[in-house]
Amino acid sequence: MTDSPLPRIPLDPKEQPILDKLQSIRTELELLKRDRSTYVKSQDVLKLYEQVIEQVMILNEIRVKKPLEQNKVDYMLDDCFQLISLAYLTVGKNHEPPAVYSYISTIKRLLDHLKEATFYSQKDLEAVDKNLQDCLRYVERGRDQYSPHLLTLLDARIKVCEEILAELKLNLSELTPELIPHWEKLVSILRSLCGCNTRSKFPHDEVKEYSEELTKVQEELKEYSIHAYETTGTTEEKLAEMVGKMQFANAHPEPAPAAKTLIGTLLRRNLLWVTLIKQKQGRIAPSFQDTYDKLLSIRNKLEKLTLTQAWSLRETDLWDYQRQLDRIDEARVDGNFIDPVGRPSEIYEQRTLLYLLRKSYALIYQLLLTSEPVSEALLPIYNQLTTLRKCLLEVQKLGGVSSPRELYPYSMKLNSIDNMRVDGKFMVGDEIPDGQGRVTQLLEECFELAYDLRNDAEDNSSVEVTPSGEKPEPLAT
């Protein structure tokens, strides 16, 4: 079991029964997600959701005079909401308020890390902004159906995300249209360099190419009188000094920095980082090797899931990865990773570990966003139809078929799926899983594609028999 980090705050004796009940609910949710012998059922998830809301109501009554208190109960409550949220995604209820909880939790982590990193692209912010608006829409749509306790919690978390997002937008507000491409390029290069630094074999040639790109960008920026921000000392000391100044600026926000300062600082950071990783070549200090290996393993497993998501992912599985990452993230002291004897990491280990941590959160976010609003029970059918649709579109793209007979395999498969419906519904036992509309729509699209391809093939056959503009020759008598 992957427990959340628990704060050392005394627990009110009145809250102990709530903690015990929430722990019991969390255990049930974990058993539900681990049971691969059957599909996660909507009624099981709804029952546990209602039990959690009941405990929230009791907790709110106890905390009337201390609404801001945070202790073990709140962390256990977060676990329960997170698992329920992922379970909602698993049963296909992606656009309902409980499902929003996992989106918002991950967005908050990403925004915090973007703020700490002090470099990000406008596309990053636009994508997060759009998804926040989607979450708001789902919450508004569910106001009449779900507990106000949940909705109040979601509203507060969305507001916090919006405030951080506004601050991040302000930091880039001074960039002019002609400078934005250069900023985006520098952000992309720095991220790519961090990725190179975590390969099993250090990619010298690739790093060299990025170094040459940086030199090219540096020359281009001279036209705007933008130069790399200068610092003193060794490469590692220069980078540490720069990062320290950025973190201080985050803690004491001021008006948006001038575009030249912003880009010059990021350029210098790139140049220093490429020099440092060439020196280190992926060698991590032994005292941080365990943390590195753990983060690397999580990153690799999540990347594999992005490739096989449609066939292998049960969204509740993401909770295990989330909690492992949360434990590592929250174990940092003043933002620094700490070794077993309490010493903070050097700048090279710090930035490398942060890259893996942030990349892993980003992959979880990607998996959440690409989760289909279809119940796990219907995913086998949905995945087959998705593959059929891709095949039919590819056939259409390549010019269609020469004979309707070539469509028989597709038609047979579509008819076999269509015959699985009972009174127009795809049933699993006696249940009608969520996602019926999406699966039915996909089935209809496949039938329509097959119908169009068949008509085109028949028309082409007719044209071949009777060429356009010519009359058939009379039969000999």
Domain boundary among 247, 280, 313: 280
Does residue 59 sit within a domain? yes
Percent of all residues in the chain with a pLDDT value above 90, rounded to a whole number: 74
Cα 17 to Cα 9, 10, 12, 71, distances in angstroms: 17, 15, 10, 14
With respect to residue 447, please indicate whether it lies within any of the assigned structural domains.
yes
Confidence of residue 3 (pLDDT cuts 50, 70, 90): very low
Query: Pairing mode, if any, of strands 425-426 and 421-422?
Result: antiparallel
Domain assignment present for residue 416? The answer is: yes
Please name the residues in contact with 357: beta carbons below 8 A apart, sequence gap of 6 or more.
Answer: 113, 295, 325, 328, 329
Angle of CA points 55, 60, 66, to nearest 5°: 140
Domain stops at, among 93, 120, 137: 93
450 part of a folded domain: yes
Q: In the structure, what pLDDT confidence band is assigned to residue 458 with cuts at 50, 70 and 90? A: confident
Mean pLDDT of the chain: 88
What are the tens digits of pLDDT across the range 109-134?
999 999 998 889 999 999 999 999 99
Q: Is residue 312 in some structural domain? A: no
In a domain, 254, yes or no: yes
Residue 268 contacts by C-beta under 8 Å, 6 or more apart in sequence?
228, 229, 230, 231, 238, 242
Residue 60 within any structural domain of the chain: yes
Q: Are 260 and 312 contacting, i.e. CB atoms less than 8 angstroms apart?
A: no
Domain that holds residue 22: 1-93
**4 pLDDT higher than 70:** no
Q: Which of 30, 27, 22 is nearest to 73 (CA)?
A: 22
**Which pLDDT score, from 0 to 100, does residue 37 have?**
87
Read off the tokens for 307: 């490739």
Is 192 a member of any domain? Answer: yes
Per the structure, the count of domains in the chain is: 3
Confidence grade of residue 36 (pLDDT, cut at 50, 70, 90): confident
**Last-in-domain residue among 280, 311, 334:** 280
What is the distance in angstroms between the CA of the first residue and the CA of the last residue of the chain?
Answer: 90
CA angle 7, 8, 14 (to 5 degrees): 95
User: What average pLDDT score do residues 196-216 get?
Assistant: 95
pLDDT at residue 330 greater than cutoff 70: yes
Whole-number pLDDT of residue 465 = 52
Cα distance between residue 34 and residue 305, in whole Å: 17
Q: What pLDDT does residue 224 have?
A: 87
